[in-house]
Structure 1
Amino acid sequence: MARAGTLYGVGVGPGDPELMTLKAARILAAAPVVAYFAKSGRTGNARTIVEGALGPAAEEMRLDYPFTTEIPVSDPRYLPEMATFYDDAAARVGARLEAGTDVAVLCEGDPLFYGSYMYLHDRLAGRYTCEVVPGITAMSGCWARAGRPMTRGDDVLCVLSGTMAEDRLAERLAGADAAVIMKAGLNLAKIRAALQRAGKLGRAVYVERGTTAQERLVPLAELADERGPYFSLVLVPTERRTV
């Protein structure tokens, strides 16, 4: 029986191509098939990051989302349609693995931290040899660019989603020494209000497209915008100094 291919979940970092790991670069240079998620009609952030890093004979497999931010997660269509999309994507990737071909799936940031790759991993990792290549996360790339120490000593860091209800956000923020709020772009007004209630708005830094040429960093309290791009987050560094 022929050997099935290996599935690679490859973290390519937060945006700056130089922040991709040597291991990721090595695997991508050799991968016969490179799959990546993208919005229909767009190149996709992960694919943009690896421009020039793929082997000259690599076959590219686009996995176009049925929608991105067009409908909210709360819409009754969202979960079933996304599940069908990931089932179909896993079937396409699985067919190549079954034929004995290795497939590298790109993922911006880290594959297992809010990454779309994980939904293929859920469906395929139990059936095929799989290797996950960790990547620099968006939050670590952004706090490096902001130059703000996030945690000291025994501080607790809380990672939150901007899609949470305002009351829950405010409660979690009030109890955390430091926080990162992901998925901030469409939720800035709510995030600002939650931080104000938690008494931490003055510490918050808004970052969009961190580590890229389009990067923008600004104190959230000074940001007039009510919406930002999908690739944005809010940093809430610790106030404490231990030494």
Structure 2
Amino acid sequence: MSGTLYLIGTGPGDPELLTLKAARVLSALDGVAYPQKPGATSQSLTIAETHLSESVEHFAFDVPMAVDRGPAQAAYDQMAEHLAPKLAAGQDIGYLCEGDPLFYGSAMYLLHRLPDAQIEIIPGITSLTAAAAEIKRPLAARNERLKVLPAPMESTALEAELVASEAVALIKIGRHFDRVRHALNKTGHGESAMVVEHATRDTQKITKLADYPQGERPYFSIILSYKGDEAWGS
């Protein structure tokens, strides 16, 4: 294939957090591909669109968000089949991915599906670092362990990981929020935990876990908690 597939991290939401390299590459693309929930606008496109040329060709792919991974995997199969001839014809295509392409990013699903493609990966700012910046608190310090824990983990395993951690970031919260809050409080992480929703976007909301209303659910959120002994600032 003579064209290049760029896997581009668009960052957490604020368009100004797109990297200079990403902006340069976006402006010169022949085509741009992006996943979106059926019936919804792609957030990664919203972040990147001001850097795209008017002539760029758009390839939007509906990717179902469901527990059953089959439909989503089929969508990535379709995406790869559609992009392969474009790349073979010499077109440079950008694939947009919120945050960083390879930090729980959907770009990973194209890597093995296009083995003959020339691929360049452009890292992006993650929700993890963006949320820490917004609450103005370090993620961890010195020799402390920072763990990134997906909320869908089984409760016993989640609590075991929390017990052995000074600092944690919980992602993919959604419908698991009540169970995650219980685990954080049980292991002593709840007191310092902060819920950051829509980090860096106009809709951003920051709430102490202890103050989060019962019965409500945070969306597009991450929870950061610190339970270490480091005296920051000294």
The alignment's TM-score, normalised by the length of structure 1, stands at: 0.91
Q: Residue type matched to 1:46 in 2?
A: S
1:183-202 matches, within 5 Å, as 183-202=172-191
Any gaps of 5 or more consecutive residues in structure 2? none
Alignment identity in percent?
Answer: 38
Contact 1:150 1:238 in 2 (8 A): no
Shift of 1:238: 4.5
**Runs of 4+ residues deviating >6 angstroms:** none
The aligned residue for residue 213 of structure 1 is 202
The aligned residue for residue 142 of structure 2 is 153
Q: Residue type matched to 2:157 in 1?
A: R
Distance across 2 between alignment mates of 1:82 and 1:44: 15
Contact 1:34 1:58 in 2 (8 A): yes
Distance across 2 between alignment mates of 1:19 and 1:180: 21
The aligned residue for residue 9 of structure 1 is 7
2:163 maps to which of 169, 174, 181: 174
Q: Residue type matched to 1:24 in 2?
A: A
Any gaps of 5 or more consecutive residues in structure 1? none
The aligned residue for residue 101 of structure 1 is 91
Shift of 1:90: 1.1
Shift of 1:120: 1.0
Residue 128 of structure 2 corresponds to residue 139 of structure 1: yes
The aligned residue for residue 228 of structure 2 is 239
SS in 2 for 1:62: strand
Shift of 1:233: 0.9
CA RMSD of aligned residues (A): 1.3
The aligned residue for residue 63 of structure 1 is 61
Contact 2:144 2:228 in 1 (8 A): no
SS in 2 for 1:240: coil
Residue 47 of structure 2 corresponds to residue 49 of structure 1: yes
SS in 2 for 1:51: helix
Residue 97 of structure 2 corresponds to residue 117 of structure 1: no
Aligned residues: 231
The aligned residue for residue 27 of structure 2 is 29
Shift of 1:215: 0.2
Distance across 2 between alignment mates of 1:7 and 1:137: 21
Distance across 1 between alignment mates of 2:112 and 2:131: 28
CA displacement, residues 108-140 of structure 1 (integer Å, 9 cap, x when unaligned): 10000011111012311x311110000000110
Distance across 1 between alignment mates of 2:230 and 2:218: 32
The aligned residue for residue 84 of structure 1 is 74
Contact 1:189 1:226 in 2 (8 A): no
Contact 2:167 2:226 in 1 (8 A): yes
Contact 1:151 1:238 in 2 (8 A): no
Distance across 2 between alignment mates of 1:59 and 1:129: 19
Distance across 1 between alignment mates of 2:36 and 2:135: 27
Contact 1:204 1:236 in 2 (8 A): yes
Contact 1:152 1:240 in 2 (8 A): no
Distance across 2 between alignment mates of 1:80 and 1:64: 13
